[in-house]
Copies of this chain bind each other. A is one copy, B any other.
Amino acid sequence: MKNLIIASTSTVYGGEYLDYLTEEMSELFKDTEEVIFIPYARPGGISHDEYTAKASKAFDKIGKKLVGLHTFNNPVEALKNAKGAFTGGGNTFVLVNSLYRLELMQPLREAIFNGLPYMGTSAGSNICGVSMQTTNDMPIIYPPSFKTLGVIPFNLNPHYLDPEPNSKHMGETRETRIAEFHTLNTVPVVGLREGSWLRVKGDEIILKGELKARVFEQGKNPYEVETGTEFSNF
């Protein structure tokens, strides 16, 4: 049974890394002492060790040991045997590129479908969708494919931002960009605001956190859904 937390951001404004998710993380990873960390999104180009050390601090607080996937001789086997995994944010192109180059996309997908408790934030959430094609990130590396894990039947736009009503900027709004996506793709998109996450248990996908989410379906006007909504109709 799939078992995931898919969060818009690692950090909410004024908060510490992952602190708003402490309770939910504790529950997700209740059956394991050790969680594998997938560091490949490499925010700001930091090393995998540095990123693992940063993320470890939040896991220390819930009494879990975080171990970087890059430290295993056989990462495919490590994912198969893992009892928990967390993928941090950074750049989604970099993350997806690494997962393909290291041949980890398919093993991670299988592990999640086999019940691996998984948490993602930002780029680590983007990869749970059908494709990474609604990321906000810059294409700083060319990945072998934009297809991602597809453990949920739609795409995400993490860090969703509402249009600024008084903006004088002529660049596209987030909503316009997602509308452009829908000129070429039929996959629905959920815009997750910072502080929102999806809790996935099997085929049940529920919006959590205090905020609404914005849903974009091809050929429909975008609409808001309340926290607690189950995304079952896609």
Overall SS of chain A's interface: loop
Chain B nearest CB from A124 CB (Å) reads 14
Q: Is A179 an interface residue (CB 8 A)?
A: yes
B133 and A180 form a contact (CB under 8 A) = no
- Asked whether A183 and B45 contact (CB < 8 A) given A169-B161, A170-B11, A170-B159, the answer is yes
* 6 tightest A-B CB contacts, nearest first: A45-B183, A159-B171, A13-B168, A140-B181, A138-B177, A142-B146
Chain B nearest CB from A95 CB (Å) reads 12
Residues of chain A in range 163-213 having any CB-CB distance to chain B below 8 Å: 168-172, 176-181, 183-185, 194
CA–CA, A85 and B23, complex, Å: 58
Residue picked from A136, A137, A171, A194, most chain B C-beta under 10 Å: A171
- Asked whether A44 and B183 contact (CB < 8 A) given A133-B139, A138-B133, A177-B138, the answer is yes
Q: Is A21 an interface residue (CB 8 A)?
A: no
Chain B neighbourhood of A142, CB < 8 A: 145-146
Over the window 11-40 of chain A, the binary record of Cβ atoms lying under 8 Å from chain B Cβ atoms (1 yes, 0 no) is 111100000000000000000000000000
CA–CA, A171 and B138, complex, Å: 12
Chain B neighbourhood of A168, CB < 8 A: 13-14
Residues of chain A in range 124-145 having any CB-CB distance to chain B below 8 Å: 132-142, 145
Which chain B residue has the least Cβ–Cβ distance from A194? B170
Chain B neighbourhood of A3, CB < 8 A: none
B146 and A9 form a contact (CB under 8 A) = no
Interchain CB contact (< 8 A) of A183 among B42, B132, B133: B42
Which chain B residue has the least Cβ–Cβ distance from A140? B181
CA–CA, A11 and B185, complex, Å: 27
- Asked whether A141 and B184 contact (CB < 8 A) given A159-B170, A169-B159, A171-B161, the answer is yes
Chain B nearest CB from A43 CB (Å) reads 7
Q: Is A94 an interface residue (CB 8 A)?
A: yes
Q: Is A91 an interface residue (CB 8 A)?
A: yes
Chain B neighbourhood of A9, CB < 8 A: 170-171
Seed contacts A13-B168, A133-B141, A138-B180; 17 additional CB < 8 Å A-B pairs: A9-B170, A14-B168, A42-B183, A43-B180, A44-B179, A44-B180, A44-B183, A45-B180, A45-B184, A133-B138, A137-B172, A138-B178, A140-B185, A141-B184, A142-B146, A161-B169, A169-B194
